[in-house]
Amino acid sequence: MQINQVYFRSNAIDLYGALFIPESGTGKDAYIVCHPFAEEKKSSQKPLVDFSRRLARRGKYVLMFDFQGCGDSQGKLSASTAQRWLQNIDDAIAYLKSTTGLTEISVVGLRAAATILWHLAKKTDTIQRYILFEPVHTLQGHLENLIKQKMVNELLTYGRVKRTKELLIQDLQAGNAIDIDGHEVSSELYHSFMHFDNEMDAQVLDTKIKMDIISLSISGTPSSESEKFYRKIQQPACVNFQAIKVESFWNKIDGVNIDPLLAVADSL
């Protein structure tokens, strides 16, 4: 297996990616792996790399990439929106197709990225399979939960909360940016999350789409977050909903056992 650092264009900027190439140099399948938002990206980086390695060792091409304004990609987070990230995914798919010569690509997303991938399903019918790991119920609610975690961190660090959740949300609604643990979140990003959430309420998928929603929980039963997402989308005919027993590695500093996650890679 070989891993190449690559760059491709999207929204007039360069995005960074890691292309995992099977040992044989050829593969019949290809996957795009999309990272979660903010600090969850940092915590989940190694597990997602290990997941991508496992796929590549099983003869599949894999492209992991950083959304614009994140990681090593160009752009600022403050200038990012959910719509621009969706375009990033479209361009990543086009890049992987041109690089591998394959016409059908599968996509994998964790947390917020999984929820964004849901919106891709209404735009294209060329995706072979969707793997949504622990999608967040709503993007707006996810952002507000990150604000709550920011307040907890401030309380632990400084013994007080600098600004309440209500005041921070008022800033976003008024057109101002806020800082969430070093990530500059703009009003535009916040409102794009709201727009995506509203679109989900009216979205119906083609029953030909192959989609797996996989809840990741320490109990091995579906989490309340993933259950809310599944009930919201109401697509039992084309969606396989299951749960696997694994710790929430996206909010852990120390490593956790992700063997159940790697077992999913083995099954693909």
Quote the CA–CA distance of 268 and 62 in Å, as a whole number: 12
Domain 2-138+196-267 architecture: 3-Layer(aba) Sandwich (3.40)
Residue 202 is predicted with a pLDDT of: 65
Residue 164 is predicted with a pLDDT of: 93
For residue 216, report the phi and psi dihedrals to the nearest 5 degrees.
-115, 110
Q: Which of 20-34, 212-226, 254-268 has the lowest mean pLDDT?
A: 20-34
Greater model confidence, 249 or 121: 249
Q: Output the DSSP codes for 199-258.
A: HHHT----TT--EEEEEEETTSS--HHHHHHHHHH--TTTEEEEEEE---GGG-SS----
Say how many C-beta atoms besides its own lie within 10 A of residue 240's C-beta. Answer: 10
Instruction: Calculate mean pLDDT across residues 113-140.
Output: 90
Evaluated on CA atoms 101, 107, 113, 117, the torsion sign reads: positive
For residue 215, report the phi and psi dihedrals to the nearest 5 degrees.
-80, 140
Q: Which of 67-71, 95-99, 196-200 has the lowest mean pLDDT?
A: 196-200
Residue 217 is predicted with a pLDDT of: 95
pLDDT digits (tens, 9 = 90+) for 166-196: 999 999 999 999 999 899 999 999 999 999 9
Q: Output the DSSP codes for 71-139.
A: TTSSS-GGG--HHHHHHHHHHHHHHHHHHH--S-EEEEEETHHHHHHHHHTTT-S-EEEEEEES--S-H
pLDDT digits (tens, 9 = 90+) for 31-82: 999 999 999 999 999 999 999 999 999 999 999 999 999 999 999 999 999 9
- Give residue 104's pLDDT band: very low, low, confident or very high (50, 70, 90): confident
Q: How do the domains of the chain map onto residue ranges?
A: 2-138+196-267
Give me the percent of the chain exceeding a pLDDT of 90: 81
Residue 232 is predicted with a pLDDT of: 83
3-state secondary structure at position 9: strand
Residue 205 is predicted with a pLDDT of: 72
Residue 235 has pLDDT above 70, yes or no: no
Residue 214 has pLDDT above 80, yes or no: yes
Give me the percent of the chain exceeding a pLDDT of 70: 96
Cβ 1 vs Cβ 57: under 8 Å: yes
Quote the CA–CA distance of 225 and 142 in Å, as a whole number: 10
Cβ 249 vs Cβ 258: under 8 Å: yes
Strand order in the sheet with 2-10: 2-10, 13-21, 60-65, 29-34, 105-110, 127-133, 211-217, 239-245
Residue 53 is predicted with a pLDDT of: 97
Residue 207 has pLDDT above 80, yes or no: no
